[in-house]
Amino acid sequence: MTRIGMGIVGAGFVGPHHIDAVRRLGFVDVVALACSSDESGREKAEALGVRKGYGSYQALLDDPDVHVVHNATPNHLHYEVTSAALAKGKHVVSDKPLAMTSAQAKRLVAEAQRAGVVAAVTFNYRGNPLVQQARIAIARGDIGPPHFLHGHYLQDWLLKDTDYSWRLDPEKGGPSSAVADIGTHWCDLAQHVSGLRITHVLGDITTVVKKRRKPTMSREAFQEASGDGELVDIGVEDLASVLVRFDNGARGSFSVGQVCGGHKNDLVLEVCGAKASLRWRQEDQNELWIGHRDRANEVLQKDPSLLDERVRGYARLPGGHQESWADAFLNVMREIYTCVAAGPPYPALSPVVATFEDGFRANRIVDAILESAADGGAWTRV
Ligand SMILES: NC(=O)c1ccc[n+]([C@@H]2O[C@H](COP(=O)([O-])OP(=O)(O)OC[C@H]3O[C@@H](n4cnc5c(N)ncnc54)[C@H](O)[C@@H]3O)[C@@H](O)[C@H]2O)c1
């Protein structure tokens, strides 16, 4: 198999996980990374064992050895970097959200189509074996038609007023913080697992921590605060609750927040159908809860021998060997790079991978939630 060259722009919190995942594929070379200065490019490349470290994304895009560009920059750079990569004919793996606004996301869908390359968004929870088991179970009718989808995505890393991230600056993160950052994961997961589409939303959003200490030095996501810096007003939400309606008439609700003590990466999705319910929780990701009316509830352990044969390949380890966030991320990367390796005309991405259209849909859901909240909580069409 021809080896594929990967280059990544942005090597903060999530960037190194992109690198780890593609390294495990075996047929991909991590050729280069790009940071915002020559110095940080050199330092990060050395720290992560990457051959070339560039000080600008343009230099990385000019490198002929880079075939696939991963965009792991803060949201305000997503459109610029992805658009430039597509214009150079590179495949793109964009971290979520696809873009800071729906208008930008829509343009990227068209630009990717014109470029004729592989273009994917990392809604990576799709790659978990038990998420796929739930998707297959619902598609084959195991729980009957879904009528209620609910859950949450709660974190606590922005609980203190000394916690700060570019996500809280609308110039860098966009008009939404919690909803765009983690609410998009919940919505993508709910739609992916159920096969349904969110058509209407009613959002209630709020900013719990209204003033924060903005550090003088930039910090990567989840890094502990030092408490220095000036006090700034925060205008974007850190907590939201949303009612949703799906295209089959199913109802739903979810809450998102980064100010919920004790919740680290607590993503939960439950789908209640006419016959039974299914629940998956990211923090206990090796278990799938199956709820029954007329018999005892069950917990399906992640064990390849117990999974549907279409799902088995996503479990890398035997039962009892816990799989993780990184393994699900790898599953998504494997699907993406399998398409790249197939060569032109590139086959359609597996449903396990979110497309740019899916990314655009996520941006539109965020818009509708913000619009609904601004209207005082009116039902709003996506
Ligand atoms: N899929 C997931 O589960 C997941 C998890 C975390 C973050 N993300 C997404 O990944 C993106 C990055 O988030 P993060 O948490 O890693 O942020 P981060 O702040 O930790 O890292 C961003 C990096 O980009 C670098 N950068 C800034 N400007 C740059 C430029 N002009 N050129 C090159 N690099 C530049 C920063 O120096 C920093 O190292 C965000 O869009 C976020 O939504 C996704």
Other CB atoms within 10 Å distance of the CB of residue 323: 19
pLDDT band at 176 (very low <50, low <70, confident <90, very high): very high
Region of 10 on the Ramachandran plot (φ > 0 left; ψ -120 to 50 alpha; else beta): left
Is the shortest distance between the CB of 169 and ligand 1 below 6 Å? no
Task: Establish whether residue 176 lines the binding site of ligand 1, counting it when its CB lies within 6 angstroms of any ligand atom.
Answer: no
Q: In this structure, what token pair is assigned to residue 95?
A: 């971290």
**Cα–Cα distance between 266 and 262 in angstroms, integer?**
9
Give the pairing of strands 354-355 and 119-122.
antiparallel
pLDDT of residue 225: 65
- Give the model's pLDDT for residue 4: 98
CA of 136 to the centre of ligand 1 (A): 32
The predicted pLDDT at position 218 comes to: 66
Burial class from Cβ neighbours inside 10 Å (0-12, 13-18, 19+) for residue 377 reads: middle
The three-class DSSP label of residue 215 is coil
212 three-class SS: strand
CA of 164 to the centre of ligand 1 (A): 14
Range from 1-5, 17-21, 123-127, 319-323 carrying the lowest mean pLDDT: 1-5
**What per-residue confidence (pLDDT) applies to 226?**
65
Instruction: State residue 222's pLDDT score.
Output: 64
Q: Which whole-number Å values give the CA distances from 55 to 41, 156, 171, in the listed order? A: 5, 33, 22
- Give the integer Cα–Cα distance in Å for 210 and 202: 23
In this prediction, residue 2 carries a pLDDT of 81
**pLDDT band, very low/low/confident/very high, at 217 (cuts 50, 70, 90):** confident
Residue with CA at minimum distance from ligand 1 atom 43: 96
CA distances to 186, 203, 305 from 271, rounded to whole Å, are 12, 20, 24
Q: What is the dihedral of CA 54, 57, 63, 69, to 10 degrees?
A: 120
Structure-block tokens of residue 71:
């965009």
Report the pLDDT averaged over residues 59-87: 98
Average pLDDT of the segment spanning 113-127 = 98
pLDDT computed for residue 99 by the predictor:
97
Render pLDDT for 220-254 as a digit per residue (tens, 0 to 9). Answer: 666 666 667 899 999 999 999 999 999 999 999 99
DSSP 301-337: E--GGGS-TTTGGG--S-TTS---HHHHHHHHHHHHH
Give residue 132's pLDDT: 98
Q: Is 14 in the pocket of ligand 1 (CB under 6 A)?
A: yes
pLDDT of 228 = 74
Residue 229, pLDDT score: 87
pLDDT confidence of residue 219: 63
In this prediction, residue 197 has a pLDDT band, given cuts at 50, 70 and 90, of very high
Average pLDDT, the chain: 96
pLDDT of residue 221: 64
Average pLDDT of span 352-379: 98
pLDDT at position 91 is: 98
pLDDT band at 78 (very low <50, low <70, confident <90, very high): very high
Find out whether the beta carbon of 74 lies less than 6 Å from any atom of ligand 1. yes
Which of the listed residues 20, 75, 95 should we mutate to test ligand 1's pocket, taking the one with most ligand atoms within 8 A of CB? 95
- pTM, to two decimals: 0.97
In this predicted structure, the answer to whether residue 111 has a pLDDT above a threshold of 90 is yes
Express as a percent the part of the chain with pLDDT over 90. 96
Q: How much is the pLDDT for 160?
A: 97
Region of 128 on the Ramachandran plot (φ > 0 left; ψ -120 to 50 alpha; else beta): beta
How confident is the model over 171-184, as a mean pLDDT?
A: 98
Q: Tell me, rounded to whole angstroms, the distance of Cα 11 from its chain centroid.
A: 16
Tokens 């390849």 belong to residue: 304
The CB of 34 under 6 Å from ligand 1? The reply is yes
